[in-house]
């Protein structure tokens, strides 16, 4: 405990300013942490520690009343009390198998499910088709860590047998998909995308895999992620953007987005701590759902930040995202943050009854001819009443709150990784990579981490108060500090493509909703995509 108090004192006393912080101070302080940093490591840490000190000073200017509590896990709104209703799934009885089987690559979940129910194709045939596409294009995109072919063929066979017996588990039965390779599955490697763990096995079936297995879905592959869930660089290279192979897919759910958009799977599962679903969905042109924090149990998933990590589907449409989320949301009781919240999605609900607004303070920074403004114009033309609102930004987020939280929690999650020098095996070793990030974060004092979370409580209250007046708020995906803010508060988001930009790569829009109200996001997303063709445009080299 003494070392924490010492560092807090060292970084907070008035005479110890940013200008007098010396490299030698860091080396001496490390001894109190029971960590051995080399001269090169300390030199790399030094500018970031100075930056952290500047952020502490910003936070110290903000008043915190003694009555403000701390968000150790999350303090959201009161738990949902709505009972879960049965969702009615419908299928197309007239759909036929396409003459060109390659057209199946971009069929949605409902279309593929209808074909199986019409006996036009079997899950086994469908599974072989997508495995062949993965083998053909997987190396092009660098999106596959490992194939799960044996598991896939067994699950496909089971799905076919159930169909023959007249047993229907729902729309995911027989549908192939992929998992981000930070989810463990018995008998498979779970690499976390990182060189030190490339041969790691964890004999636990992740909750999300178990739920999809129970729904009859077919796991065909485990997809790439940036090493330890950062970016799109993994131990095998860099995951590519299906629209431009010279660019990365962004991350960290890199392979999940890239493979889905390229039609190598109908859908995939990703995770987000600070943009890891939204960013690759935006970059690749996927429809990604980041659910409310705690909506999906994280059992069997690599932990990066306990109070921020979330699990969600990456698809090609909002309708598919709703279908997948309906079967993965909930908890097994093993994740202390997760709960069984109701997801009462109804695609036939009147979308015009939704209270919708757009974040004027973000949109006014954009040219009125921008693709984002076009979305607002299109929705108004469709008869929706779109109000204006101002989304709290810099006035609510005055210092690097999410950096403090991720820093402290991720460094704790990978404590031994740093102390035992396992970090030296990581492929990337630059200033903004995990090894240096974890080392630097070890100097965040406990007091500053706790008070950051107390400020987070105030942020949650402020965003909840603003959001309660609307069902959906529309915002540019990366304008202002919205992404950091809503990840901290746990609000759900839906990122959807809105066409290619001037660089001929995808652009996106993001819808936000109140906590536990994913059905509102997905209803509006489905309506928007039914009346536009953005989600029907696919990268030409993979058709």
Q: What is 213-261 written as a DSSP string?
A: HHTT-EEEEEE--STTSSSSEETTEEPEETTEEEEE--SSSHHHHHHHH
Q: Which residues pair with 237 in a beta bridge?
A: 234
- Choosing from 114, 252, 258, 297, the catalytic residue is 252
Listed residue (115, 177, 170) closest to 315, CA to CA: 177
Q: Which conformational region is residue 333 in: left (phi greater than 0), alpha (psi within -120 to 50 degrees), or beta?
A: left
**Chain-centre distance of CA 206, in angstroms?**
17
Angle at 268 between CA 432 and CA 164, to 5 degrees: 165
User: Is residue 193 within 8 Å of 284, Cβ to Cβ?
Assistant: no
Q: Which residues pair with 510 in a beta bridge?
A: 475, 495
Burial 391-402 (b: 16+ CB within 10 A, else e): bbbeebbebbbb
Separation in Å, CA 72 to CA 253, 310, 408, 449, 454: 26, 16, 12, 10, 9
**What is the 8-class DSSP label of residue 375?**
H
Report strand pairing: 310-315 vs 268-272: antiparallel
Active site residue 24: no
Active site residue 252: yes
User: Is residue 279 within 8 Å of 241, Cβ to Cβ?
Assistant: no
Active site residue 394: no
- Choosing from 250, 256, 276, 307, the catalytic residue is 276
Report strand pairing: 218-223 vs 176-180: parallel
- Choosing from 29, 71, 123, 180, the catalytic residue is 180
User: Is residue 310 within 8 Å of 274, Cβ to Cβ?
Assistant: no
Return all residues near 58 (Cβ < 8 A) that are at least 6 apart. Answer: 398, 399
Rounded Cα gap, residues 407 and 438, in angstroms: 7
Active site residues: 180, 252, 276
């Amino acid at each position: 405990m003494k070392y924490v108090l010492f560092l807090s004192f060292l970084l907070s006393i008035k005479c110890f300013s940013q200008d007098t912080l010396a490299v030698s101070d860091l080396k001496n302080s490390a001894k109190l942490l029971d960590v051995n940093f080399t001269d090169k490591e300390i030199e790399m840490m030094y500018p970031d520690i100075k930056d952290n000190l500047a952020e502490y000073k910003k936070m110290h200017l903000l008043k915190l009343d003694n009555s403000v509590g701390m968000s150790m896990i999350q303090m959201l709104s009161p738990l949902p009390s709505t009972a879960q209703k049965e969702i009615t799934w419908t299928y197309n009885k007239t759909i036929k198998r396409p003459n060109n089987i390659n057209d199946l690559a971009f069929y949605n979940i409902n279309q593929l499910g209808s074909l199986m129910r019409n006996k036009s194709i079997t899950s086994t045939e469908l599974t072989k088709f997508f495995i062949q596409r993965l083998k053909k294009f997987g190396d092009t995109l660098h999106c596959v860590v490992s194939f799960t072919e044996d598991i896939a063929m067994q699950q496909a066979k089971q799905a076919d047998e159930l169909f023959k017996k007249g047993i229907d588990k729902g729309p995911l039965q027989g549908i192939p998909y992929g998992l981000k390779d930070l989810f463990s599955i018995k008998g498979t490697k779970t690499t976390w995308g990182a060189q030190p763990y490339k041969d790691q096995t964890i004999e636990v079936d992740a909750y999300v895999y178990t739920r999809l297995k129970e729904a009859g879905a077919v796991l065909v592959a485990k997809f790439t992620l940036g090493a330890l869930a950062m970016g799109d660089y993994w131990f095998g290279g860099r995951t590519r953007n299906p629209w431009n192979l010279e660019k990365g897919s962004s991350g960290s759910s890199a392979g999940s987005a890239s493979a889905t958009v390229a039609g190598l799977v109908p859908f995939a599962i990703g995770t987000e701590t600070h943009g890891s679903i939204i960013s690759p969905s935006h970059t690749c042109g996927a429809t990604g759902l980041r659910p409310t924090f705690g909506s999906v149990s994280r059992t069997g998933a690599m932990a990066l930040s306990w109070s921020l990590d979330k699990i969600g589907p990456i698809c090609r449409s909002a309708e598919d995202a709703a279908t997948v989320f309906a079967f993965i949301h909930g908890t097994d009781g093993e994740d202390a943050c997760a709960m069984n919240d109701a997801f009462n999605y109804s695609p036939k609900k009147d979308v015009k009854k939704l209270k919708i607004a757009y974040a004027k303070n973000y949109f006014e920074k954009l040219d009125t001819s921008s693709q984002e403004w076009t979305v607002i114009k299109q929705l108004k033309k469709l008869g929706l009443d779109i109000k204006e609102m101002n989304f709290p930004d810099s006035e609510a987020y005055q210092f690097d709150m999410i950096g403090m939280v991720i820093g402290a929690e991720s460094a704790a999650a990978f404590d031994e990784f740093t102390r035992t020098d396992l970090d030296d095996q990581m492929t990337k070793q630059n200033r903004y990579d995990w090894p240096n990030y974890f080392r630097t974060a070890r100097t965040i004092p406990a007091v500053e981490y706790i008070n950051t979370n107390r400020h987070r409580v105030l942020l949650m209250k402020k965003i909840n108060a603003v959001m309660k007046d609307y069902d959906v708020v529309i915002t540019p995906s990366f304008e202002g500090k919205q992404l950091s803010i809503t990840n901290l508060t746990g609000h759900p988001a839906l990122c959807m493509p809105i066409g290619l930009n001037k660089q001929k790569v995808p652009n996106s829009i993001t819808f936000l909703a109140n906590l536990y109200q994913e059905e509102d996001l997905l209803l509006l997303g489905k309506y928007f995509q039914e009346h536009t063709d953005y989600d029907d445009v696919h990268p030409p080299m993979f058709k």
